[in-house]
Amino acid sequence: MTRDSRGPFAATCPTRHLLDQIADKWSMLALIAIDSAPRRFNALKREIEGISQKVLTQTLRRLERNGLISRSVAPTVPVSVTYAITPLGHSLAVMMETMRTWSIANIDSILAAQSCYDHSRSEAQSLK
């Protein structure tokens, strides 16, 4: 965990560092959502189906800490908080969008591979 001269998989390389921070589905989804337009907290919570408010808060904090989104508070009553993408975050979101496109184009191949795999496994199971 100390030597980092052996390539892109050493524990201390930039790739690992980035992956540690944003390689989870909630971060990516939140980034995509905010990239399309600035959003309020509850709007995001409603839009990202299945996320809890606790996890959303944690996710937004981490994205903000990494300089990928910005958080601005309007001193109204009650307070309204808006999250917006930063230039850095947008350049990352572009790649997320590419992945989104890819997933739509290749979902059928993946589903087919899954059912094929599961099918061959259940066969092996039955003749045990």
Q: Which residues bind a copy of itself (CB under 8 A)?
A: 1, 6-11, 14-21, 23-25, 28-29, 32-33, 47-50, 64-67, 88, 91-92, 95, 98-100, 102-104, 106-107, 109-110, 112-114, 116-118
Q: Judged by CB, which is closer to DNA: 30, or 93?
A: 30
Round to whole Å and give the CA distance between 113 and 110.
5
- Among a copy of itself, DNA, none, the one that 98 touches (CB under a kind-dependent 5 to 8 A) is a copy of itself
Contact characters 21-60, DNA, x per CB under 7 A: ---x---------------xxxx------xxxxxx-xx-x
Q: How far is the CB of 15 from DNA (least distance, A)?
A: 17
Contact characters 81-120, DNA, x per CB under 7 A: xx--------------------------------------
CA pseudo-torsion sign 111, 113, 114, 119: positive
C-alpha closest to that of 59 among 74, 47, 46, 69:
69
Which residues lie near DNA (CB under 7 A)? 24, 40-43, 50-55, 57-58, 60-61, 71, 78-82
